[in-house]
């Protein structure tokens, strides 16, 4: 079986009509690839359209403020991507006069651009013969060729890249790369793929050996940390509240949030009262507090589970640096806080 030709024929018949496939503009391809890192196509597509409309060129993105970029990115997660996106746009606009590098090796030098993204841009924009290796490609190749290398190992990326390079259709790398990734996304899916209707089933070693659901091998154990967030939703006589910017490194860097008490476990009312009075958040006298409509959430990130409570804290007088509800909505928040502000507060 000619692996590359079979994949290409399948792709041309079954491919999705995705907006970034209708351009060779490296700016738009870069934009889409950064957005789709660890993000489903269905989730990322509306953000792609929003960014394309707000920032049609790399100069527009470079001239935006970081808060504008983060606000538009709100809800897409992994916010370091947005910060890197903005920094890279500024570098390309100012240092490279708006021209993206035209080779894989030069693209790798851009901030936030790793081997996968560099290969995608080089292949899709400039048709450079370089393989694109993502999770879909790992899965397709490991199953078809019965490769048992742990994809979490240090040697896996090099091994699979070399294998993909051998299969790459010379002078037509863009089609092959799109085809193998699309095949992994639509046909050779992670769990219980429909191998009966697969165009590669006659030569797939994993299918022959009944190992489809065992491949690819991934022995990495993700350690999930539990954290307990108690957000203080202050409210003064003018119905103003307080927010703060997360400046420390870690999750939600440079996004906004309410004043926070992070505890070692779930706080009940009495424990919260002790913490509230121990930490000096405001000069105003506290009139009352209560758990906000008994709203409690578990917000799951890739490596952290956040147990979140919102506490309404009524205070006397007017808060220093307090803001009203309308102003509040203009700031970029983590999506779990944004949803609270939009749906549950007021």
pLDDT, tens digit, 9 for 90 and up, residues 225-242: 999 999 999 999 999 999
pLDDT at position 295 is: 60
Q: How confident is the model at residue 332 (pLDDT cuts 50, 70, 90)?
A: very high
Alpha helices of 64-187 — where are they, by DSSP H? 66-73, 80-95, 104-107, 115-126, 135-144, 156-167, 173-186
Question: pTM of the entire structure?
Answer: 0.92
CB neighbour class for 89 (10 Å; exposed up to 12, middle 13-18, buried from 19): buried
pLDDT in tens, 194-212: 999 999 999 999 999 999 9
pLDDT in tens, 11-65: 999 999 999 999 999 999 999 999 999 899 999 999 999 999 999 999 999 999 9
**Mean confidence (pLDDT) of the chain:** 94
Residue 302 has pLDDT above 90, yes or no: no
Active site members: 33
pLDDT at position 323 is: 97
Percent above pLDDT 70 for the chain: 98
> Among the listed ranges 162-176, 245-259, 305-319, which one has the minimum average pLDDT value?
162-176
pLDDT at position 294 is: 59
pLDDT at position 1 is: 64
Long-range contacts of 120-125 (CB under 8 A, 24+ apart): 120/29, 120/33, 120/177, 121/26, 121/29, 121/30, 121/33, 123/173, 123/174, 123/177, 124/24, 124/29, 124/174, 124/177, 124/178, 125/24, 125/25, 125/26, 125/29, 125/100
Q: What is the mean pLDDT of residues 267-291?
A: 91
pLDDT at position 169 is: 75
Q: Tell which wins on pLDDT, 168 or 256.
A: 256
Q: How confident is the model at residue 171 (pLDDT cuts 50, 70, 90)?
A: confident
Residue with tokens 């009203």: 324
pLDDT in tens, 243-278: 999 999 889 999 999 999 999 999 999 999 999 988
Q: How confident is the model at residue 308 (pLDDT cuts 50, 70, 90)?
A: very high
Residue 101 has pLDDT above 90, yes or no: yes
Residue of 116, 113, 38, 46 whose CA lies nearest to 79: 38
pLDDT in tens, 142-162: 999 999 999 999 899 999 999
């Amino acid at each position: 079986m000619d692996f590359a030709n079979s994949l290409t024929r399948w792709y041309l018949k079954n491919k999705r009509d995705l907006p970034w496939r209708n351009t060779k503009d490296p700016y738009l391809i870069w934009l889409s690839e950064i957005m789709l890192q660890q993000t489903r196509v269905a989730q990322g597509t509306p953000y792609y359209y929003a960014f394309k409309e707000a920032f049609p060129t790399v100069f527009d993105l470079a001239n935006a403020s970081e808060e504008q970029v983060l606000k538009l990115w709100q809800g897409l997660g992994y916010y370091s991507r947005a910060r890197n996106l903005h920094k890279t746009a500024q570098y390309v606009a100012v240092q490279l006069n708006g021209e993206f590098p035209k080779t894989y090796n030069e693209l790798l030098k851009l901030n936030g651009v790793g081997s996968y993204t560099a290969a995608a841009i080089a292949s899709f924009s400039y048709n450079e013969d370089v393989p694109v290796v993502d999770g879909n490609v790992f899965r397709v190749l490991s199953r078809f060729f019965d490769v048992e290398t742990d994809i979490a190992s240090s040697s896996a990326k090099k091994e699979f890249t070399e294998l993909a390079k051998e299969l790459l259709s010379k002078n037509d790398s863009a089609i092959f790369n799109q085809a193998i990734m699309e095949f992994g996304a639509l046909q050779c899916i992670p769990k219980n793929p429909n191998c009966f209707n697969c165009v590669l089933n006659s030569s797939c070693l994993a299918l022959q050996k009944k190992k489809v659901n065992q491949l690819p091998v991934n022995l990495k154990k993700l350690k999930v940390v539990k954290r307990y967030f108690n957000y203080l939703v202050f409210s003064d006589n003018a119905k103003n509240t307080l927010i703060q910017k997360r400046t420390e490194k870690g999750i939600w860097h440079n996004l906004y949030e309410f004043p926070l008490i992070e505890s070692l476990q779930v706080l009940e009312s009495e424990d919260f009262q002790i913490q509230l009075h121990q930490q000096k958040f405001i000069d105003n006298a506290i009139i009352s507090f209560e758990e906000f409509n008994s709203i409690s959430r578990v917000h799951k990130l890739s490596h952290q589970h956040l147990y979140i409570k919102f506490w309404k804290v009524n205070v006397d007088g007017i808060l220093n640096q307090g803001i009203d509800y309308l102003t509040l909505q203009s700031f970029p928040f983590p999506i779990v806080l944004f949803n609270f502000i939009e749906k549950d507060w007021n």
